[in-house]
Structure 1
Amino acid sequence: MDFELSEELQDIRTAIRQLCDRFAGSYWRDLEPDRYPEEFVRSLTEHGWLSALIPEQFGGSGLPLSAASVILEEISASGGNPGACHAQMYVMGTLLRHGSPEQKRRWLPPIAAGELRLQAFAVTEPTVGSDTTRIQTRAKRTGDGYVVNGQKVWTSRAQHSDLMILLARTKALSEVAKPADGLSVFIVDMRERGESLTIKPIRTLMNHATTEVFFDDLELPADALVGEEGRGFRYILDGMNAERILIAGECVGDGRFFTDRACAYASERHVFGRPIGANQGVQFPIAKAHMAIEAASLMRWKACRLYEQGRPCGPEANMAKYLAAEASWQAANACLDTHGGFGFAHEYDIERKFRETRLYQVAPISNHLVQAYVGQHVLGMPRTY
C-alpha cells in the first residue's frame, strides 16, 4: 500500500489552498450569523471544483472520490467551512450511479457549468430522526407523475439550491414487508416550486444554512423518479457512504487547522519565561490529537479506495466518519485549551471552527449510531435499536 498522495492529489491540495487564501478568517467571520458564502461558492464553481465528480462527457472533471475528499479537507484546513457546498459532492453520487441516461444528459451539464446548484438532500424528518426507513413524506402516483406531501428537517442549503434529491414513500409502511421497502428517490427542480414547497430557515449554533422543508401537493413529473420505484433506500445508502467519507475528510482538515494553530501559538506564547508548548500539559494533548487525526485519515483513504472500486464500504465509511469526527473534536479542545482566553475571542477563529466541527459528533449521522452499526453489523452483537 502506497501511503503517499499522488501527484494529482497534491496538485489539487495546492490549488485549493491558493483559492482559499483569498478568503481569510475575516471573510468567514463577517458572514456570521447566517449569511451564505456566495463569493466563495462562486469561486469554487468557476474553477470547476464543485463539478469534480461529474464525468468529463458531461462537462465535469471526472475525478474520483479521493479528489473530492482532498478538496473538502483543504477548505477545512484553511479555516473555511466546506459545509456551505459539500452536498454537491456527495449528493452527486445518487444521480451518477442510479440516474437514467436522460437524467444525466439533462442535469449534469448545467450543474457542471455552474448554471444549476444541487445542494439539497432531503431525507431526515422531524418525527423519526435517524430512523430513515420510517419516514412519512408521501409521493403518490398520479396519471402523469407524482404528488408529494410531507415535511423534511435539517435539509441544509435548500434556499441556495436549484435542485433537490428527495427521499419519499411511494408505498405506505402498512403496504410493505420491510420498512426499507417502498421508498423512492426523486430529483426535484425547486425553481418551479411555487407555493407547494415552503422553505423555513433554522437558526443554529454555527452558520450552516439549514432548513425545514414543507411539501403541499407538490407535483412532480414521472421522469423525476431516480432509478426504480421502491428501491430508493438502497440508492440513498450509496450517497450516505460517500457523504460519510467526505465528512471524514472535512474533519481531518478541521483537525489539521486546530493542531496547526495550537502548535504555532504554543511555540510563540511565553509565560513564566518560557514557551507554553514546552509544558507537557499543553504539548501532549496536541500530540495526541495529531496522532488521532493521522489514524482517522488512513481509515478515510481505505474507505475511498473501496468506494472507488465499487466494493462494499459501509463499515469503513462509518468508521472513517466516526474516527475523524472524534479526532477533530479532540483537536478542537486541545487548541482551545492552548489558547486559553484568546480561544474565545472572535478574531482568532478558534471559537468559530470549534462550533463548526462540533456538528460532526451528531451529523450527518450520530457517532452513537455509528457505534451501534459497528457493534451489530461488523461485530455481530445483538441489535441495540
Structure 2
Amino acid sequence: MTEKDPADLELIRKTTRELARKFDLEYWREKDAKHEYPWEFVKAFADGGWLGAMIPEEYGGLGLGLVESAVMLHEIGYSGAGASGASAVHFYIFPPGPIIRHGSEAMKREFLPQIAKGELLMCFGVTEPTAGVDTSRISTRATKTDGGWVINGQKVWITNAQNAKKILLLARTSPRSDEKPMDGMTLFFTDLNRERITVREIDKLGRSAIDSNELFIDNLEVRDDEVVGEVGKGFSYLLDGLNPERIVVAMEQIGLGRAALDEAVKYANSRVVFDRPIGKNQAVAHPLADSWIRLQAAEQIAMKAAELYDAKQPCGPEANAAKFLGSEAGFQACDRAMQTLGGYSYAKEYYVERFWRESRLLKVAPVSQEMVLNYISTKILGLPKSY
C-alpha cells in the first residue's frame, strides 16, 4: 500500500478540526431544535474546498483519498457537530461517487465543479419502503420512451430532499430475475422535479438538522443522457460506494463517541457527590475507560480499511468490521455519557442527549449490524446463508 504522509494527515486533521470547532455546541443544539439545515457550516467547508475532497482536481476538487476524507469527517463528528454536521458534509462527498467513476464526461464537467463548490446539493434515491435491505426488490420502474425514460415509484429515508436540486435515482429498467437479481437496475442523475416528485419530510428521533424524506414519483421524465454509465448496471455502480461509506460512517461515529466521552469526563471530574468527584468511583471511571479503548480499536480498523481502499485493494471485510465496531463503540460511549450525567443527561444544555439520539441511528443505517454479521458469516467464515 502507498504510505500516507503523517504530516499531511496531521495538517488535514488540524485544519478541519479548527474549522469545525468554529461552530460550537450551542449552534448545533439550536439547529437540532429548530430543524434548520446548517448552511453556514456547509458554506465554511465549501469555502475551504473540503466539499470536493474526493472529486478529481480536473473537475474542481482536491483529489484526495478516503483516508483524508475519513480523518476530516471524524473531526467534524468529534467537534460536537455529530451526525448532523458529518451528514451535511458527507452527502457532498460520497453520493457523487458513481458519477465520478461511471458518469459521462459531459456529466462530470457540468456537475462535479458545482458540487465541489457547494453550489449544488444532491440527494440519493435508493431505499424503498417495501424492499428494505433487499435492494433487488425495489419497485420503482423506468419505462423506455423515445429519447428517454418515464419513472414511477416511491423512495423513503431520502436525505436532503427538502433542498436538493438533483437526485441520483435507482430504478428498475428490466424485470428482476432469480438468477441475477441485482441486474436490470439503472442509475439516473436528474432534476428533483417537484412537479413530478412529491417530497414529504419524516419526523424522526435524531439528526434533526438534516432532513429525511419520503418521495412519491409520478411520471418523472428523464433524458437518455441522464443515465449514469450503462443501462441495467446501476446496482454494481452503487457497490463502488458502499465500502467507503461504511468506513466514513465508522469514523463519524467514533468522533461522535469521543465528543460524548469528553463531556462525560468533564462532568465526572467536576460533579461532587458525597464529598468526592464522581469520577473517583470505579463504577463511573471504568465504563468510560472501556469506551476509550473501544473507540481506539474501532479507529484502527477503520483507518486500515481506508488505506486498503485507497490502495485499490479488497477491503470489504475491514470496511464492514469498521462500520460494526465504530457504530457499537460510538453508541456505547454516548450511552455511558448519559449514565454518567444521570438526570442531567436529559437536559439539552448538557448536549449529550443529542449525541445519544444521533448515535443510535448508525446501528441500523446505512446497513444494520445484523447485515454486517451476515456478510462476515457467509463471505469470511464460509457459513451457509441464512437469508
Residue 111 of structure 1 is matched in structure 2 by: 115
Residue 144 of structure 1 is matched in structure 2 by: 147
Which of 162, 176, 179 lines up with 2:165 in the alignment?
162
Mapping 1:8-157, distance limit 5 Å:
8-31=8-31, 32-80=33-81, 81=84, 82-118=86-122, 120-157=123-160
Query: Partners of 1:62 and 1:319 in 2: how far apart?
Result: 26
Query: Partners of 1:2 and 1:266 in 2: how far apart?
Result: 42
Q: Is the 1:17–1:78 contact (alpha carbons within 8 Å) kept by the matching residues of 2?
A: yes
- Normalising by structure 1, we get a TM-score of 0.95
Give how far 1:358 is off: 0.7
Secondary structure of 1:281 counterpart: helix
Q: Is the 1:66–1:304 contact (alpha carbons within 8 Å) kept by the matching residues of 2?
A: yes
Secondary structure of 2:362 counterpart: helix
Structure 2 residue identity aligned to 1:267: N
Give how far 1:4 is off: 9.3
Secondary structure of 1:155 counterpart: strand
Give how far 1:46 is off: 1.7
Query: Partners of 1:183 and 1:141 in 2: how far apart?
Result: 13
Query: Partners of 2:166 and 2:313 in 1: how far apart?
Result: 28
Query: Partners of 2:296 and 2:2 in 1: how far apart?
Result: 15
Mark the runs of 5 or more structure 1 residues left unpaired by the alignment: none
1:315-364 deviation per Cα after TM superposition (whole angstroms, max 9, x unaligned): 22111111100000110111111111111110111001110111001111
CA distance 1:188–1:4, shift in 2 (3 Å): closer
Structure 2 residue identity aligned to 1:131: D
1:38-81 deviation per Cα after TM superposition (whole angstroms, max 9, x unaligned): 21112211221111111111111111111111111111101103
Mark the runs of 5 or more structure 2 residues left unpaired by the alignment: none
Structure 2 residue identity aligned to 1:56: E
- Normalising by structure 2, we get a TM-score of 0.94
Secondary structure of 1:305 counterpart: helix
Secondary structure of 2:200 counterpart: strand
Query: Partners of 2:268 and 2:251 in 1: how far apart?
Result: 26
RMSD, aligned CA: 1.7
Residue 287 of structure 1 is matched in structure 2 by: 289
Query: Partners of 1:327 and 1:345 in 2: how far apart?
Result: 23
Q: Is the 2:42–2:118 contact (alpha carbons within 8 Å) kept by the matching residues of 1?
A: no
Structure 1 residue identity aligned to 2:363: Q
Give how far 1:13 is off: 1.7
1:8-63 deviation per Cα after TM superposition (whole angstroms, max 9, x unaligned): 22112212222222211111111224221121112211221111111111111111
Query: Partners of 2:183 and 2:357 in 1: how far apart?
Result: 37
CA distance 1:145–1:377, shift in 2 (3 Å): same
Give how far 1:114 is off: 2.4
Query: Partners of 2:264 and 2:218 in 1: how far apart?
Result: 50
1:189-226 deviation per Cα after TM superposition (whole angstroms, max 9, x unaligned): 22xx1411111110100103100111111111101111
Mapping 1:311-350, distance limit 5 Å:
311-350=313-352
Give how far 1:177 is off: 3.5
CA distance 1:3–1:351, shift in 2 (3 Å): farther
Structure 1 residue identity aligned to 2:352: I
Q: Is the 2:268–2:278 contact (alpha carbons within 8 Å) kept by the matching residues of 1?
A: yes
Give how far 1:241 is off: 1.4
Query: Partners of 1:247 and 1:270 in 2: how far apart?
Result: 36
Query: Partners of 1:313 and 1:135 in 2: how far apart?
Result: 27
Deviates more, 1:104-113 or 1:349-358: 104-113
Query: Partners of 1:97 and 1:309 in 2: how far apart?
Result: 16
Deviates more, 1:128-137 or 1:107-116: 107-116
How many positions carry a matched residue from both structures?
381
Query: Partners of 2:235 and 2:353 in 1: how far apart?
Result: 37
Secondary structure of 2:55 counterpart: coil
Deviates more, 1:309-318 or 1:296-305: 309-318
Secondary structure of 2:28 counterpart: helix
Q: Does 1:173 align with 2:155?
A: no
| Aligned-pair identity (%) | 45
